[in-house]
Amino acid sequence: MSGPNDPPSNLRVLLAEDSAILRDGLAALLTRRGHTVTAVGDGVALEQEVARLVREESQPDVVVADIRMPPTFTDEGLRAVLSLRSRHPDLPVLLFSQYVETRYASRLLAGDARGVGYLLKDRVADVRDFVDALGRVSRGATVLDPEVVSQLMGSARQDDAMERLSAREREVLGLMAQGRSNGAVAELLHLSYGAVEKNVAAIFTKLDLPQDAADHRRVLAVLRHLGV
Amino acid sequence: MTVEPRAAGPAARGSTARPHPRFLTAPFASRTWREQGYLALMLLLAPFAFAYAVFTVSLTAVVAVTVVGLFVSGTVLLGARGWGGTYRGLARNLLDVDLPVPASWTRPRGFWRTLGSLLGDATAWRALLFMFVTFPLTLLSFVTSVTFLVVGLGAITYGIWYRFLPPQLGTDGEMHVGAQFGLSYYVDTPPRIALAALAGLLVFFCWPWLLRMFTLLFRVLTVALLSPTRASLRVAELERSRTGAVDDADARLRSIERDLHDGTQARLVAVAMQLGEAREHLADGGDVAQAAELLDTAHTSTKDALTELRELARGIHPPALDSGLTVALETLAARSALPVTVDVDRAVEAGGRLAPALESIAYFTVAELVTNAAKHARATGVWVLVEPLDAARAESAHAGSPRAGSAGAGGNAVRIRVRDDGRGGARVVLPDGSGLRSGLAGLAERVRSVDGTFDLSSPAGGPTVVTVILPTTTPSGRA
């Protein structure tokens, strides 16, 4: 049952999750959609598995990691992912957690934010959106949970540049932060595509972002927006 | 603030662990020589201690005119605590007087309070008083005891060394070699020498008792001036139990959070995932059989989540507790896999329900002990007895314990006895810093937080008996 809008099937997904129920459920869900899933239960195993896969020259297309895992149940997943990113900067990672911690998001986004995602576990309820987000991360997009975004926005209010944005522009920026394309933003805000483009251009100008690769500029805008 | 474990243990006030030596062996007993050693060391310390004490007092008198001066003398005064520690150590090692250590000085907030606490430090002032008083006492007792020892030994051996004394002319016109008493009494004949030896023996055997008398004074002074006061012990105990209560509450919240996070929350996410996928199958006109299977899994997961939530809620506050401790314990017994016999004396709740906090502690203590019996002790049965305990019996049941007064002070108590027929060998494992600790340590901590006592008897081979006494009238200052 793959439609034309579905993300590329047959991603090699490496999943790190300690809860057996979720791990098995997620693996089954992704497998049914034609992806190949390797699952591990903690941060150390995750790093070892990546090392093994890289040696075998079958680097995963995307890593999905729970943040809180054994042995200390604090931020093992995040630490494992950060250490992986320092060794393999182009390895797309999606953090997956029951809580939103802006501190975690800041640490995750402090480096190169391309191919990085941070979603609440609740998002798997909308299976299509979730799988879609996974596909976008694997292609190098930044995907942040709306919850993460609103929390980060709460902490990023003091920025002068942000003050110059209009309410609509902030709304657009919030959706960009979630990794939405202009088309998707237009659809969600019931605007015309052109109006969204205008808003995006205004955002770039107001935030003094240089005119080079447009995609990268989007990420920069989002990061500025998040105060990272 | 730190309180050494000794402060919590039964205070061995001036108790002597060693048997009393008999009269004939007393001069050779190690205890006697250790006491003499104590006096010798005290003599060594005495001049310095006395000088320190005089210095402290005169310094305070002189510099009291300035605030800075008061601070200096307060700090010097605090040094007396160090002296107190030294004296306690001497008494512990040589006199077998093992005293609890007073709570260490903690700096209060604020300048004036710090100053007040420095200058008003009772422990330091008492140590200073000890240093004053023992100075003359040390001199007197050391000189006297050594005189007795030397005279005794000298007289005993007089028959050997008297011949080396210089000859002298007596009033009887004869030359005498020997000690002279009075005008013409020379100890130089065999009967007189024997008499001297006899007198020496008497003095020698009296020496240990003289020594004992003096050291008794030191023991009394040490206990009176260097031990923590009752009030300070109580404060230390309260601070410890408060820390325990906070830690316990924190540990319980953590475990609830972890149960929620790893259990229920994860299960609900899985359910949402399964439902979401099923919905897509149905919306796309996809595989209905697959959707049905997903719905079935989600249904099962939901029921599991409900069960988990119910258990969790019961763990926070069992609904049966709303109807009183008796009902709650009977419900607990009925739910338990082990046969549990519960006997709650009617008098316990005759005068109305117990305080909610006490009911809750009593209930969870029993619940945890029953679980332990089933899980660790391999018991085949558990017997629970809850009965009232009037103040007098609470006192006598725990006489000798530093908390003897608190468990029954001004009111009644409830005694809970939980016995199983398992293999025993249970221990209270203190927390080792890893955040993990035995359930028993947590229980004991919780019981202590309401001034109760927790007593475990679990010889290898069983049976395990835990006796918990909870005061039913909460001491003032605690809600």
**In this complex, do A125 and B275 lie within 8 Å of one another by their Cβ atoms?**
yes
- Which residues on adjacent β-strands are paired with residue B383? B341, B419
CA distance A141 to chain B (A): 23
Give the model confidence (pLDDT) of B443-453 as tens digits. 888 888 888 88
How do A93-97 and A62-66 pair as beta strands? Answer: parallel
Best mutation target, B255, B268, B269, B271, to test chain A (most A CBs within 10 A): B269
Amino acid type, B5: P
Residues on chain A touching B258 (C-beta within 8 angstroms): 73
- Looking at chain A, the whole-number percentage of residues with pLDDT higher than 90 is 22
Residues on chain B touching A126 (C-beta within 8 angstroms): 276
**In this complex, do B266 and A122 lie within 8 Å of one another by their Cβ atoms?**
no
Collapsed DSSP state (helix, strand, coil) of residue B386: strand
Ramachandran assignment for B318, one of left (phi > 0), alpha (psi -120 to 50 degrees), beta (any other): beta
Number of A to B CB contacts under 8 A, please give it: 50
Q: How far, in Å, CA of B23 to CA of B15, rounded?
A: 20
Contacts of B443 (CB under 8 A, 6+ apart): B364, B365, B368, B369, B454
Q: How far, in Å, CA of B214 to CA of B39, rounded?
A: 9
Residues of chain A with CATH 1.10.10.10: 156-226
B434: nearest CA in chain A? A72
Contacts of A50 (CB under 8 A, 6+ apart): A14, A59, A60, A63, A84, A88, A91
Mean pLDDT of the region B234-251: 80
Residue B184 pLDDT more than 70? yes
Residue B436 pLDDT more than 60? no
Residue B396 pLDDT more than 70? no
**In this complex, do B276 and A121 lie within 8 Å of one another by their Cβ atoms?**
no
Count CB-CB contacts under 10 A for residue B473: 14
Best mutation target, A5, A15, A19, to test chain B (most B CBs within 10 A): A19
More reliable by pLDDT, B415 or B409: B415
What is the CATH code of the structural domain delimited by A156-226? Answer: 1.10.10.10
Give the model confidence (pLDDT) of B305-331 as tens digits. 998 898 888 888 888 888 888 989 998
pLDDT attached to residue B143: 94
Contact B128, B80 (CB under 8 A): yes
User: Please, which pLDDT band fits residue B477 given cuts at 50, 70 and 90?
Assistant: very low
**In this complex, do B275 and A21 lie within 8 Å of one another by their Cβ atoms?**
no
Residues on chain A touching B291 (C-beta within 8 angstroms): none
For residue B274, give the nearest of A3, A25, A126 by CB distance.
A25
- Looking at chain B, the whole-number percentage of residues with pLDDT higher than 70 is 88
Give the model confidence (pLDDT) of B201-211 as tens digits. 999 999 999 99
Q: How far, in Å, CA of B226 to CA of B85, rounded?
A: 8
* Euclidean distance between the first and the last CA atom of chain A, given in angstroms as a whole number: 40
Collapsed DSSP state (helix, strand, coil) of residue B100: coil
User: Please, which pLDDT band fits residue B401 given cuts at 50, 70 and 90?
Assistant: very low
The 3 state secondary structure assigned to A146-161 is HHHHHHHHHHCCCCHH
Q: Where do the structural domains in chain B lie, given as residue ranges? A: 5-228, 237-316, 323-471
Residues on chain B touching A98 (C-beta within 8 angstroms): 261, 265-266, 269
- Which residues on adjacent β-strands are paired with residue B168? B176
User: Please, which pLDDT band fits residue B395 given cuts at 50, 70 and 90?
Assistant: very low
User: Please, which pLDDT band fits residue B6 given cuts at 50, 70 and 90?
Assistant: very low
Give the model confidence (pLDDT) of A3-52 as tens digits. 444 556 689 999 999 988 889 989 999 998 899 999 999 889 999 999 99
Contact A120, A147 (CB under 8 A): yes
* Euclidean distance between the first and the last CA atom of chain B, given in angstroms as a whole number: 24
Mean pLDDT of the region B174-200: 85
- Give me A55's structure tokens: 């040696």
- Buried b / exposed e over A142-178, threshold 16 CB at 10 Å, is bbbbebbbebbbeebeeeeebeebeeebebbbbbbbb
From edge to edge, which strands make up the β-sheet containing A116-120?
Answer: A36-40, A12-16, A62-66, A93-97, A116-120, A142-144
Per 3-state DSSP, chain B is made up of helix, strand and coil in percentages (nearest 5) of: 65, 10, 30
Residue B407 pLDDT more than 50? no
Q: How far, in Å, CA of B303 to CA of B313, rounded?
A: 15
Contacts of B63 (CB under 8 A, 6+ apart): B69, B70, B72, B73
Q: How far, in Å, CA of A110 to CA of A152, rounded?
A: 13
Name the average pLDDT for chain B. 82
Q: Helix B288-316 vs helix B230-259: angle between axes, to the nearest 10 degrees?
A: 170
Residue A149 pLDDT more than 80? no
- What is the sign, positive or negative, of the torsion defined by CA atoms of B116, B122, B124, B129? positive
pLDDT attached to residue A159: 58
Q: How far, in Å, CA of B425 to CA of B115, rounded?
A: 51
pLDDT attached to residue B147: 94
- What is the sign, positive or negative, of the torsion defined by CA atoms of B360, B363, B365, B367? negative
Kindly list the distances between the CA atom of residue A91 and the CA atoms of A82, A106, A113, in Å, as whole numbers in the listed order. 11, 18, 11
Please classify residue A11 by burial: count the beta carbons closer than 10 Å to its beta carbon, then call 0-12 exposed, 13-18 middle and 19+ buried: buried
Query: Which one is the CATH code of A12-145: 3.30.70.270, 1.10.238.10, 3.40.1260.10, 3.40.50.2300?
Result: 3.40.50.2300
For residue A125, give the nearest of B265, B272, B290 by CB distance.
B272
Residue among B413, B418, B419, B417 at smallest CA distance from B347: B413
From edge to edge, which strands make up the β-sheet containing B413-420?
Answer: B340-344, B382-389, B413-420, B464-471, B453-457
What is the CATH code of the structural domain delimited by B323-471? Answer: 3.30.565.10
Residue B433 pLDDT more than 70? no
Count CB-CB contacts under 10 A for residue B99: 22
Residue among B245, B302, B238 at smallest CA distance from B270: B302
pLDDT attached to residue B25: 84
More reliable by pLDDT, B242 or A17: A17
**In this complex, do B269 and A73 lie within 8 Å of one another by their Cβ atoms?**
no
CA distance B272 to chain A (A): 5
Contacts of B358 (CB under 8 A, 6+ apart): B414, B450, B470, B472
Residues of chain A with CATH 3.40.50.2300: 12-145
Residue A216 pLDDT more than 80? no
- Looking at chain B, the whole-number percentage of residues with pLDDT higher than 90 is 28
Give the model confidence (pLDDT) of A181-213 as tens digits. 888 889 988 989 999 989 888 888 887 776 655
Mean pLDDT of the region B142-162: 91
